[in-house]
Amino acid sequence: MQELTPKDCDRRMEYGELMLDWYEDWPKLFENSLWSDEAFFHNGGFVNRHNSHYWAAHDPEVTVEKKQNRPKVTVCCGMTATKVIGPYLLRDTMNAERYLQMLEDCVWPIISG
């Protein structure tokens, strides 16, 4: 994880302006953009905070023990400007075969219709 700097605000504004320029040339840009994310839910009370970040002025030297290979469910969702895709539940680890299956079963029928 990288710390945000004052320059990052400018970069985000530049990106937003670039996307708006593209939108003027291609009005269906956002209808043809798919934004997605996934979350992991573990058994036994463990909370995966991979998207939660905490900043400290110093290293607290805290050790956290984690039990490996806990049962989990992966939940994938996506959205376009006009459609919601998912949730797609996966009880196994994602691999190329399962990813292709998710695209064929869950994503393609929604975005092609």
Domain ranges, ordered by start, for the chain: 1-31, 34-111
Predicted confidence at residue 30, as pLDDT, reads 83
Predicted confidence at residue 5, as pLDDT, reads 85
Q: What is the pTM of this model?
A: 0.60
What is the overall mean pLDDT for the chain? 81
Residue appearing with tokens 């989990």: 72
pLDDT > 90 in the chain, percent: 29
Closest listed residue to residue 69, CA positions, set 26, 97, 40, 99: 40
Report the C-alpha dihedral over residues 57, 58, 61, 65, rounded to 10 degrees: 20
d(CA 22, CA 67): 47
Q: What residues contact 73, with CB distance under 8 A and at least 6 apart?
A: 40, 41, 89, 90, 91
Give me the mean pLDDT over the 35-47 stretch.
78
Higher pLDDT, 41 or 89: 89
Closest listed residue to residue 85, CA positions, set 62, 51, 108, 54: 108
* Backbone φ, ψ for residue 36 (5° rounding): -145, 165
